[in-house]
Amino acid sequence: MKLLLENWNRYLKESEIVSYQQQVGDIETIAQDISDKVQEFMSDHGYDWLRQNASIVETEIQDEIRKNFNRDITEAGSGSFRTTYMVDNDYVIKVDSSINGSGKQMNKEDGEVGRNPKYSSIFPKALGVAPDGSWVILQKVHEIQDLKTLITLFPNKIIPSTSFGKFYTQSLLSIALSYQVAALQYDQNQMDFHKYQYESMFKNSLVKDIGRDVTFQEFIKSWISPTFITVAKAVIEYGLDADEAVRPYNSGYVVEENGEKRFVILDSSVQKTVEAGLNAFNNP
């Protein structure tokens, strides 16, 4: 009886794996088809035409994917380097649509961080990536569009919830994260600079909100959490811009099975060398 149960459990597990592989394989084929179609438009009409006629491109891709795969697909956004598509509102596909192939490197980076177990909690999971980086398939993520939602995902022991939507809280989070990055790198000059930022520019606003003094040490300690530390380490390892990586439209969240929201950085290419505004997930 025990052997029968073990065999049955093994069968169920193997069936789940096969089903998952078939599902992802299907999406990979769709991703390649979308990429081929985008490159075809680029070759026939040029980069500027592709940007100016996004609705035409989207319609043709939609018709082809529905006909060949019976799937719904929509364009979620486009930027200078990539175009993002949503499949059945379940998967996100980013395809290179740049002039010089810059989007391919970004896709490879998304694929790398999305499969790195060290940072799997703060980046969208990568389900597949083309060998040449022409496309990447990512876990669906909800884009953060307001400051209040962002601050809520970084539990703080000092800032009152009534202040979460105030503009200065974005600066407080950026200062705290940048300080933590400097501390992990033993960069005393940067640590002193971020302490000066807090004390000279934003401390009074915080003190006014909570009605008491807050030392810099207490301020930094109030942000410490597993997510906060992991983000700081990822900033260092991947050369991210701490200020750009953690802000509305560059950040998002995943809804876990228990209903809790998990913070994620939407784009692994949020670097100091990349123009701000090109890094949003659904609107790159």
Q: Where are the domains of the chain?
A: 2-140, 147-265
pLDDT of residue 282: 40
Residue 105 has pLDDT above 50, yes or no: yes
- Tens-place pLDDT, residues 28-80: 999 999 999 999 988 898 888 888 888 888 898 889 888 888 888 888 888 88
Q: Biggest alpha carbon distance in the chain?
A: 72
Q: Which of 9-23, 148-162, 169-183 has the lowest mean pLDDT?
A: 9-23
Measure the CA–CA gap between 194 and 242, rounded to whole angstroms.
13
Q: What percent of the chain has pLDDT over 90?
A: 49
Strand partners, 137: 93, 128
Q: What CATH number should be reported for the domain whose range is 2-140?
A: 3.30.200.20
- Residue whose pair of structure tokens reads 């913070």 in the numeric block: 263
The pTM of the full predicted model, rounded to 2 decimals, is 0.75
Do the beta carbons of residue 138 and residue 94 sit within 8 Å?
yes
CA atoms within 13 A on the CB side of 186: 0
What pLDDT digit, counting tens, does each position of 106-130 carry?
999 899 998 999 998 999 999 999 9
